[in-house]
Each structure stands twice: as C-alpha cells, then as structure tokens.
Amino acid sequence: MPRIAAVHRIPMRHPGDVSGLAALLDAGTLRAEEIVAILGKTEGNGCVNDFTRAYAVQALSVMLAGRLAATPEAVAARVAMVMSGGTEGGLSPHFLVFAVADTPAPATGALAIGAAFTRDFAPEEIGRAAHVEATAEAVRTAIAQAVLDDVHYVQVKCPLLTSERIAAAEARGATVATHDTYASMGLSRGASALGVALALGEIASIPDAAIGQDTTLFSGVASCSAGVELTRNEIVVLGNSRAWSGNLTIAHAVMQDAIDLPAIHAALRGAGLDPAGGQLPPAEAARLVALLAKAEPSSTGRIRGQRHIMNDDSDINATRHARALVGGVAAAATGRTDLFISGGAEHQGPDGGGPVAVIARRTA
C-alpha cells in the first residue's frame, strides 16, 4: 500500500504551547501514531542558554505521552523532535509536524519522508571522518527506506562533546577533536553535513583536517543541529518519491549569500509556486506549506562587498542577526513569516549562504 506524508504547520503562542497540536489530534485530523518528526522554531536566542528548545520538547513529550500511552522518554525516542531557537526580525514561532500513513490511494508521486539513525558514537569519533562516514551510511538507509527519487532536505540531529565524554575518552587513551565543548557543536554539525554531502555525491571524501575548515566543501540540502541529549545521529530525509501518494511536493536551491532572493525563487518555482512579481500572491502563499533555510553571517564580514557588523556585535549574537536577515529575504519572497530559518550552517551551503527547501501543496 502506498504511503502518504502530511505536514502540519502549527503556530505557538509560547514555547510550551502544544494546544494547536492537541487540537489537531482531538479533531482526528492527525493521529499521534503517525507523527515521525516535529521541527519547531522557538523564540529563544538560539544560542547556548536557549532553554525554549528543551521546554518545547518537554511540553510536546508530556502531551504526546498521554496520547500514545507511553512515557515522555519513549515519545522522544520515537519522534524526532528538532527545535531551532531564534525567531528574530519578523519570524513567527511555529511547529512543523511531519506524519506518515499508509493510504489506499494510488502512488502518484509526492513528498516522501525517510528516517534513520547511526550507531552511537564514541567521543573520539565526534566531528571526525568516522562521524562523516556513519552519517553518510544512515542517509543512504533513510533514502532507501523512503524509496526517494530525489533528495531536497536532510535534517540531522547530532551529538556534541561534554566534559564527561572527553574525560571518558581520555581515560581510555583516546584523543578528541576539540576540548572546547561549544566548538564541538560546530564540528559535529559540520561532520554531519559532510556526511550528507558524501551520501549524495556532492563531495568525494573528507580528510579530518577539512572538517570545520574548508568552507568550499558543503551539502546543498543538509540542515544540522547538535544536542547534548543524544550520542548518535538522528536523520530525517525529505524528497519526492513515485512510490508515495499525496498532494505535497518538495524542491530546493542553494543561496549563494544571505540576500540571494533568486535562489529562494528557484526553490519556490521548483515546488510549483510562482513568485511572479517577486512575492508570492496570497493564493500561492497559501499553498506554501514550509520553507526551511539555513542562515549564517559570512566569515568575510562582507555581503557583496559591503561590510556587515554581525561578527563584531557583542550585544547580539551573529547568528541572531543572520536569522533576522534571511528571514526578511524569505518573507519578501513568500509574503509569510512562519518560516523555518535556522542558524549554525557549517558545511551547509557556501560561506554566508545556505540551503533553502520548499514544501508546497500542488493545488489549493
């Protein structure tokens, strides 16, 4: 029987607000058992001390535990929940709930979702070639599981180094990629993104030394976030498959810099939306189900030759500036602000740019 993917975009009134999802479940629009992933854009700072992410995960887990007759921990193990902090500028806090069900409808080709996990990583593997290779293998597994014809977005949740993990590795005589736990987040995201790139043939092979260093190596579809709560990579792959049914489709493009409106237009057009005069007219905007993009300040300190101040601002973190900026560019293209713009884009698109994916309904 063909599968069908559903994507529900649900506004949040605050990071602990799960009432919108509860209402969908109550109404029978969605069954809890069908949920495979939840991506959330919460209104914290998106940096080290952003607790809105864990708060949202806790609220979702407690609510879904009641629906699934499971413990909150079991829910978290079953549903991939990736919270991206930071709704700077005009961005609007919301959840994207991904669900998969079997359907008696014919397989006409549609958005398809695959998921897979790597093995647990030893601390000394994180942010290194072993991390890249295991990620690539899991991405291939997820693609096969979903029978994808093409791949447009790969969400990776990956681990980081903690003081305890570093100590455990060193007690065994192993060395780790970095002693700076914050830096380990970037290395883990970078290795994960390169794993995606390797699986998709975007790059050939990756020496350890390139991870976190060579910004010319990147994936055009990876979106990675690091979390302390796991020791493996959790992977959700989105693409189109002739073996699936439904009214949704996905496309993507790569922004070459933070103000690359034409790339966003290309992704919109790829998903069948027409931003004719520059911004989607309301009827087209209503068919836009999700826009997912990465934002990062260019390391050169410049955008098309003009200086930006993101990297020198000690009051507002650079990634916050970048999300506000890319959010503005994407809102200009779409006429919407409930967009999934996330930061931390090591090896995810070129320096200062990043991937942008669009999920759309084919018809109103």
| Ramachandran category for residue 157: left, alpha or beta (phi over 0 → left; psi -120 to 50 → alpha) | beta
Binding residues for Mg(2+): 296, 345, 348-350, 353
Note whether 49 binds a copy of itself by CB under 8 A. yes
Is 157 annotated as catalytic?
Answer: yes
Task: Answer whether 12's CB lies under 8 Å from 110's CB.
Answer: no
Sheet bearing 222-226, strands edge to edge: 110-117, 234-241, 150-158, 222-226
Note whether 43 binds a copy of itself by CB under 8 A. yes
Orientation of helix 19-27 relative to helix 52-68, angle to 10°: 20
For a copy of itself, the closer of residues 47 and 101 by Cβ is: 47
Residue of 61, 188, 219, 225 with catalytic role: 225
Task: Answer whether 20's CB lies under 8 Å from 11's CB.
Answer: yes
Of 200, 45, 48, 184, the closest CA to residue 125 belongs to 184
In this structure, how many other beta carbons lie within 10 angstroms of the beta carbon of residue 167?
11
For a copy of itself, the closer of residues 239 and 353 by Cβ is: 353
Stretch that binds a copy of itself, among 101-109, 232-240, 245-253, 330-338 (CB under 8 A): 330-338
Note whether 262 binds a copy of itself by CB under 8 A. yes
Is 314 annotated as catalytic?
Answer: no
Each residue 72-101 as x (binds a copy of itself by CB under 8 A) or -, in order, gives: x--------------xxxxxxxx-------
Note whether 327 binds a copy of itself by CB under 8 A. yes
Look at the block and give the residue holding tokens 């597994």. Answer: 141
Residue of 61, 157, 241, 294 with catalytic role: 157
Of 292, 280, 45, the closest CA to residue 153 belongs to 292
Q: Which of 77, 144, 286, 309 binds a copy of itself (CB under 8 A)?
A: 309
Look at the block and give the residue holding tokens 């609220």. Answer: 59
Catalytic positions, written as ranges: 157, 225
Query: Where on the chain is the footprint of a copy of itself (CB under 8 A)?
Result: 11, 13-16, 43-45, 47-52, 54-55, 58-59, 62, 72, 87-94, 258-259, 261-262, 265, 275, 277-279, 303-304, 306-310, 312-317, 320-322, 324-329, 331-333, 335-338
